[in-house]
Amino acid sequence: MTEKRAKMFRFTEEKIRNQFLFLLLIFLLPFIGVYSDWNDKKEIVNDFNSNKKLVCTVSKNKIDVQKENNWIYEDKYFVKDDLKILFSNCSIKD
């Protein structure tokens, strides 16, 4: 193989490898996001079930959510009477 062909081969090989790694990253990013969201949900629900206080933000209002105050967890929401709060808007109260 001549030097010019060897150089072209290395360039093409590197280009293909970089494109593959880029596509792999693009493919894996949604799975990483879903996994992170799932872990957050699991952590928040476990804290809620262990009677820890959660602070949920709805618009500009902050609402204390706790099992002792008759809040229940349904699907993706904390529910009390007719109020539904999405779990992703909640965090553990310090």
Instruction: State the pLDDT at residue 89.
Output: 80
The angle at the Cα of 56, spanning 91 to 46, to the nearest 5 degrees, equals 45
Beta bridge partners of 85: 78
Q: Specify whether the CB–CB gap between 57 and 89 falls below 8 A.
A: yes
Rounded Cα gap, residues 89 and 35, in angstroms: 17
pLDDT over 70 (residue 94):
no
Per-residue confidence at 25, pLDDT binned at 50, 70, 90?
A: very high
Instruction: State the pLDDT at residue 1.
Output: 65
Please write the tens of the pLDDT for every residue from 36-54.
888 888 888 888 888 888 8
- 14-19 mean pLDDT: 96
Q: What is the reported pTM? A: 0.63
Residue corresponding to tokens 């993706």: 76
